[in-house]
Amino acid sequence: MSENPFAPRPDMQVWFGTQIVDVGEARVSVFDHALLYGDGVFEGIRIYNGKIFKEKEHIKRYFESAKAIRLEVPMTAEQVSKAMYDTMAANGIAGDGYIRLLLTRGIGSLGISTKHTACPTVIVIADKIALYPPEYYERGLRCVVSSFTRNHCNSTSPRVKSLNYLNNIMAKLEAQDAGADEAIMLNPSGQVAECTGDNLFLIRDGVLLTPPASEGILEGITRNLVMDLARKRGMEVREVAMIRHDLYVADEIFATGTAAEVIPIVEVDRRPVGNGKPGTITMQLNQDFVDYRNA
């Protein structure tokens, strides 16, 4: 049997619980509620030029997600920051990279109750990531609107960056089955929410439009930055509810996220967006993002 090309490097070091260990020693119990029920939270964080990008914002959201599901982080924000930098150093990451910061509920019983779960476990992985091949940023993504509805805000709130991503995964699988690159998800009211792992922006008549957090989206950190960059260019930015029709008639569409950064969308449900090529404003905002991150 051939080796798994996606397996971690055998020399990788990860933060597990209270210390850095070899990746082979970082073992989550089969009784951890993160495995049994997807019970935990995470953050995906970029490293640029040896610095953790938007570190305070990511740590703040990490703690907010944990609080929302009544999960206590067994470390302070300062300790989490140190754990991330220590993990970077242990893996020799001095340039660009990616951090996956996780928090599991801990070991519990086979029942759904959390009364007897042990201490939550903090995990930090520092590595590289490329969500889309480089050529996708030049030609843009082809998307479909998914039949899988984004979670209702009174179910598993999309504002919690939960370890349970099944909703998103099913939409992604549907997109792949349709020969598309990505799926756009609607909320239970039929309004535009987000992609399977990224926030969504539309441009119409020079105005930048994006669904508000109340429409069932993750309040993205890259999303907030791109809105700031657009305002600095004098663009009008609106957080408004939108429907599928707005996707079909948009001049430009793009997605934003920590892993994806800023990536154009050129097709939705076999309908070209604009002229079917990455838009001028999209590419300018992408360059603004690159300049900001490299500053």
Q: Which residues are catalytic?
A: 161
Q: What b/e readout covers 212-228, taking b as 16+ CB neighbours within 10 angstroms?
A: ebebbbbebbbbebbbe
Residues 195 and 208 sit within 8 Å (Cβ to Cβ): no
H-only helix segments in 112-165:
134-139
Question: Token pair of 239, please?
Answer: 């957080």
Residues 198 and 260 sit within 8 Å (Cβ to Cβ): yes
Angle between the N-to-C axes of helices 280-294 and 221-232, in degrees from 0 to 180, rounded to the nearest 10:
110
In whole angstroms, give the CA distance from residue 252 to residue 165.
28
Residues 187 and 215 sit within 8 Å (Cβ to Cβ): yes
Question: Token pair of 141, please?
Answer: 């993504």
Residues 282 and 252 sit within 8 Å (Cβ to Cβ): yes
Angle between the N-to-C axes of helices 55-68 and 77-90, in degrees from 0 to 180, rounded to the nearest 10:
120
Cβ neighbours of 79 (radius 10 Å): 13
Collapse the DSSP code of 101 into the 3-class scheme (helix H, G, I; strand E, B; otherwise coil) and give the result: strand
